[in-house]
């Protein structure tokens, strides 16, 4: 019976793999979000209008970070890198030549810890279902 409990425990572990975001200062994340993100993504994380349609310049508007957007579809690592490097840098790394992102990189503006605080704040605003789904996108940690 003990091996079954161990297997069940390990199988359930990935659903809780949000370690980078655990124990973060959500108030600080909210302040940093207000300073660096809300002007594009909205004070209530609602994003810009028609965020799924590129503008005349080919750049997509800022998506919502609430449950109506796709932020929760991505792993912590992917969200961190996108924030740190910027959308265009990630698109180029992926070889997406026809994708234009207006998301700047914040790696020179924000520390790694500040980026994690912002991401933890954003995640804290999602309903439980989206949090669980997003957690399942993160690899287990040792």
Q: What does the alpha-carbon distance between residue 135 and residue 131 come to, in Å, rounded to a whole number?
A: 6
- Secondary structure (H, E, C), 25-55: CHHHHHHHHHHHCHHHHCCCCCCCCCCCCCC
Q: Which residue has the higher pLDDT, 104 or 13?
A: 104
The yes-or-no verdict on residue 142 having pLDDT over 80 is no
pLDDT, tens digit, 9 for 90 and up, residues 106-133 = 999 999 999 999 999 999 999 999 999 9
Q: Give, in words, the CATH class of 2-135.
A: mainly alpha
> Is the CB of residue 62 less than 8 Å from the CB of residue 41?
yes
pLDDT of residue 31: 98
Q: What does the alpha-carbon distance between residue 114 and residue 64 come to, in Å, rounded to a whole number?
A: 20
How would you label 70-87 residue by residue, b for 16+ Cβ within 10 Å and e otherwise? Answer: ebbeebbeebbbbbbbbb
Domain locations along the chain? 2-135
Which stretch of DSSP H or E encloses residue 106?
none
Contacts of 31 (CB under 8 A, 6+ apart): none
Confidence of residue 98 (pLDDT cuts 50, 70, 90): confident
pLDDT of residue 11: 40
Q: In the predicted model, what is the mean pLDDT of residues 46-62?
A: 95
pLDDT, tens digit, 9 for 90 and up, residues 1-17 = 444 333 333 343 333 44
């Amino acid at each position: 019976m003990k091996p079954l409990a161990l297997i069940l425990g390990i199988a359930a572990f990935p659903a809780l793999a949000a370690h980078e975001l655990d124990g973060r200062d959500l108030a600080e994340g909210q302040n940093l979000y207000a300073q660096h993100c809300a002007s594009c993504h909205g004070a209530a994380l609602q994003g810009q209008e028609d965020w799924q349609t590129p503008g005349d310049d080919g750049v997509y508007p800022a998506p919502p970070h609430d449950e109506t957007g796709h932020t929760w579809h991505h792993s912590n690592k992917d969200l961190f890198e996108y924030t740190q490097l910027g959308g265009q840098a990630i698109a180029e790394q992926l070889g997406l030549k026809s994708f234009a992102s207006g998301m700047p990189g914040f790696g020179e503006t924000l520390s790694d810890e500040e980026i994690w605080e912002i991401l933890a704040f954003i995640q804290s605003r999602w309903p439980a279902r989206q949090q669980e789904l997003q957690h399942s996108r993160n690899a287990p940690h040792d």
